[in-house]
Amino acid sequence: MSVQSPDRPAIGSADAPPAVPIYRALLPDADALLPYLRIIDANRHYANRGELVRRLETRLRERIAAPGCAVLTAASGTAALQAAILAQTGRADPARPFALIAGYTFVATAMAAEACGYIPVFVDIDPATWAIDPAALRQHDRLARTGIVLAVAPYGRPHDQQAWADFATSTGVPVVIDAAASFEALMQNPATLTGTVPVVLSFHATKAFATGEGGAVIWSDIEGLKRCARAMNFGFLYSRESRAAGFNGKMSEYHAAIGLAALDGWDATAAASARLAARYRAIAMRAGLGDRLILAPEIASNYALFRADSRSVALASCACLETEAIEHRFWYGPGLHREPYFAAHRPAALPVTEACAAALLGIPVFPDIDEPAIERIIAALARTAP
């Protein structure tokens, strides 16, 4: 599935079509970073919540948080997830050893729970939202021994903050929402997507808003955010006494510089990605694939998904893309419960997760993908779609 697979003409050889990568990140360039790097030079404050981290948090709060919520940055989305879990309920204990986790997500969600001592229990998703249905989860047979629920906003699709808040209130089981790719959804609708349930973002290079590595927690519980900050700083808060489980999860000033430069250019970035998605959609419609392609704003702009009818159509599409040297990816693998590492827990079958995982094929989209590449991708898919 990789563009480097040996059974394909060498990339760049005269008669082979140029390879199209699944993603090619484009972060702020050196000129855009320079004013911020000068601030770092002047401050000589490189880590531990310097001026740039604090400025980034303030500017993010103005754009992606509901009134009353605050933003705390992190070294990665995974670090932000771990911090939010520790802030919500601390490490696992024998009475509540389980974390209920959506089966359809990136492995980081379950890795974060495991790092906090929880045993992941994977939960099937709703076919319409590709996410756990909070109403159905109330009946889960492990709920009484569950320490934390990790809900996921797959591909940055908007989540239901209110429904998860109601779930947490009525069951007493705390929730963290892994909305790693949801920066754009939050920009559109901060008031309904953030609130009493902590929302975690990733700013990894492959996400629409990126700092290279980075992440954040957005939450209305300011004391809770302090516990997140404590978790990400070795259990220290306002003193050198370690008072809770922790690790090093802090964002550096250099990463904050990238975030500030990315925010400076955000309106232009957003306009360009909206134009790109519209163009992609138009090309797909012309090929009769309009209803097969899922693009921004339905999902985050760093993803384009081809919805196949079935596993066999998806595999035929993979083969066609493969011969065209077009990289493609099942972003969430076969479902987390089927990853070899987690399969060792002998998890239950998750039929909806498995069906989504097999039918939703990631295809290339990135800021400077050109139109001939999009035409080739759609032509290859049109050959396999019934």
Ligand X SMILES: *Cc1c(COP(=O)(O)O)cnc(C)c1O
Residue 180 interacts with ligand X (CB under 6 A)?
yes
Residue 178 interacts with ligand X (CB under 6 A)?
yes
Residues between 4 and 63 with contacts to ligand X, criterion CB under 6 A: none
- Give min distance, CB of 76 to ligand X, in A: 4
Residue 109 interacts with ligand X (CB under 6 A)?
yes
- Give min distance, CB of 360 to ligand X, in A: 14
- Which residues have a Cβ under 8 Å from the Cβ of 92 and sit 6 or more positions away? 98, 99, 116, 117, 118, 119, 147
- Give min distance, CB of 261 to ligand X, in A: 18
* Smaller CB separation from ligand X, 109 or 161: 109
Residue 82 interacts with ligand X (CB under 6 A)?
no
Residue 78 interacts with ligand X (CB under 6 A)?
yes
Residue 299 interacts with ligand X (CB under 6 A)?
no
Residue 177 interacts with ligand X (CB under 6 A)?
no
Residue 202 interacts with ligand X (CB under 6 A)?
yes
* Smaller CB separation from ligand X, 213 or 324: 213
Residue 184 interacts with ligand X (CB under 6 A)?
no
184 touches 208 (CB < 8 A): yes
- Using CB under 6 A, pick the residue from 103, 215, 335, 364 that binds ligand X: 215
Residue 88 interacts with ligand X (CB under 6 A)?
no
- Using CB under 6 A, pick the residue from 106, 122, 130, 306 that binds ligand X: 106
Residue 356 interacts with ligand X (CB under 6 A)?
no
- Give min distance, CB of 104 to ligand X, in A: 9
- Give min distance, CB of 110 to ligand X, in A: 10
- Using CB under 6 A, pick the residue from 73, 82, 105, 233 that binds ligand X: 105
Residue 148 interacts with ligand X (CB under 6 A)?
no
Instruction: Name the residue whose CB lies closest to ligand X.
Output: 77
Residue 152 interacts with ligand X (CB under 6 A)?
yes
Name the residues that contact ligand X, by CB under 6 A: 76-78, 105-106, 108-109, 152, 178, 180-181, 202, 204, 215
